[in-house]
Amino acid sequence: MDEMNQPVLRISRTQLIKNITAVQNRLAPSTLMLIMKDDAYGHGIDMVADVAQRQAGVSLFGGYDIATSLQIRSRVEPSSRVFAWATSDSDEVEQALRAGVDLGVGTLPYLHRVIAAASITGVTAKVHLKIDTGLRRNGVRSEDWPEFVAQAIAAQHAGSIEIAGVWSHLAEASDADDDLAAEEFRAAVEMLRRAGAHPTDLHLTASAASWWRPELRGSVSRVGAFCYGIRSADGPELEGIRPIAALTAPVIGVDGDRAVIGIGAFDGLPSTLSGIEIGTTAGNRQLQRIGVTTSELAAWPGATVGDDVWIFGPGHHGEHSATTLAESIDTVGEEIITRLTSRVRRVIGD
Ligand SMILES: *Cc1c(COP(=O)(O)O)cnc(C)c1O
């Protein structure tokens, strides 16, 4: 495929550093765990890991699955820590232990798997125990917590695991629900302490709650979206936070009153976006049809092959961010960026 016909996602290192710094300042003294699932929300793990570590001083990373976490691990300094919380098979768990990846553990069978992997590898597993505080996705329910704690403490005494943390995930459906969840969380930590463990990494909040609900922050805050400049759908603007990526597509043909641009559904552009206004050198124009690899918008005087149009993000034209686009089709900004395929060329700049 001719590169000149491809859409481009331009990513700003400087803005990434600014966002991470704004998040760190806002959360302090809680430590940022930079969440990097889905290829660092579509921006690329290697670049984000390098910039975050070297230029923003991040030393705690969250990779979701073990494969992602191993990639981060290989990219960052040995003294940094990487957390993987997806339940995985024994092979992967052993790889994680050998590489020094911390594991989130939210079921008794998985605790047993981690203990077995520790015995096979001879590595003490650093684990963060997960209490279910209402989301019912994964995590030990409060009625099962005492037994889970007892087995974890026994494994710690045996040297198989080190209980490094306790964590949970908030539903963020209402402040009242989150308050209750936080209470359950604190009770679970307290029980673990009484049983003789001293977890230092307590984490409950993601972007929105970390930013807006300081009283819910633990010693660690897991933040992805806001660091990439993706605000919450229907949420307010965030001081010091801006989108770090702009998606442009080239004009590849002009046919009367239509301009054909080189981006389509195969690039990850949701076809439900047809009808939105996007930025051109002459102001906004309506995106009239989204095809497979090309789309059409209303032409403008002087429209020329090779011109760029702005689908979203900072630039000279266009008003959309990934989040405003998402809002127009009832989804979230993360969804817009992470579904962009590898056909979209990533260009890293200052
Ligand atoms: C994705 C994720 C986060 C980060 O959420 P953001 O809203 O992007 O900050 C935090 N914790 C868990 C468990 C997640 O899956």
Q: Where are the domains of the chain?
A: 13-228, 245-349
Q: Which phi and psi (to 5°) does residue 335 adopt? A: -65, -40
3-class DSSP state for residue 75?
A: helix
Name the CATH code of domain 245-349 (choices 2.40.37.10, 3.40.50.970, 1.20.1530.20, 1.10.486.10).
2.40.37.10
53-62, 126-135, 306-315 — which one is most confidently predicted on average? 53-62
User: Is the C-beta atom of 35 inside 6 A of ligand 1?
Assistant: yes
| Contact call for residues 341 and 39 (beta carbons, < 8 A) | no
Give the model's pLDDT for residue 96: 98
Q: Which atom of ligand 1 is nearest to the CA of 222?
A: 10
Q: Give the whole-angstrom CA distance, residue 97 versus residue 34.
A: 20
The domain 13-228: what is its CATH number?
3.20.20.10
Q: Give the whole-angstrom CA distance, residue 44 versus residue 47.
A: 6
**Ligand 1 centroid to 95 CA: how many Å?**
23
**Ligand 1 centroid to 38 CA: how many Å?**
11
Give the model's pLDDT for residue 313: 87
Burial class (CB in 10 A: 0-12, 13-18, 19+), 228: buried
Question: The whole model's pTM is what?
Answer: 0.95
Ligand 1 pocket test, candidate residues 34, 222, 226, 228, most atoms within 8 A of CB: 222
Tell me: pLDDT of 344 over 90: yes
Cβ neighbour number for residue 13 with a 10 Å cutoff: 16
| Contact call for residues 235 and 276 (beta carbons, < 8 A) | no
188-202, 227-241, 305-319 — which one is most confidently predicted on average? 188-202
Give the model's pLDDT for residue 114: 98
Tell me: pLDDT of 264 over 80: yes
Q: What is the mean pLDDT of residues 122-142?
A: 93
* DSSP symbol at 163: E
Q: What is the mean pLDDT of residues 279-297?
A: 94
Give the model's pLDDT for residue 2: 65
Q: What is the mean pLDDT of residues 105-128?
A: 98
Alpha-helical segments (H) within the chain: 13-27, 37-41, 45-56, 66-75, 90-99, 108-121, 145-157, 175-194, 207-212, 322-328, 333-338
Bridging pattern class, strands 125-130 and 102-105: parallel
Tell me: pLDDT of 198 over 90: yes
Q: What is the mean pLDDT of residues 139-148?
A: 97
- Rounded to the nearest 10°, the torsion over CA 195, 171, 164, 58 is -160
* DSSP symbol at 10: E
**Ligand 1 centroid to 34 CA: how many Å?**
9
Q: What is the mean pLDDT of residues 291-309?
A: 94
Give the model's pLDDT for residue 147: 98
Mean of per-residue pLDDT scores for the chain: 95
Tell me: pLDDT of 99 over 80: yes
Instruction: Name which of 8-12, 125-129, 314-318, 335-339 the model is least confident about.
Output: 314-318
Bridging pattern class, strands 125-130 and 161-167: parallel
Q: Which atom of ligand 1 is nearest to the CA of 37?
A: 1
**Ligand 1 centroid to 155 CA: how many Å?**
28
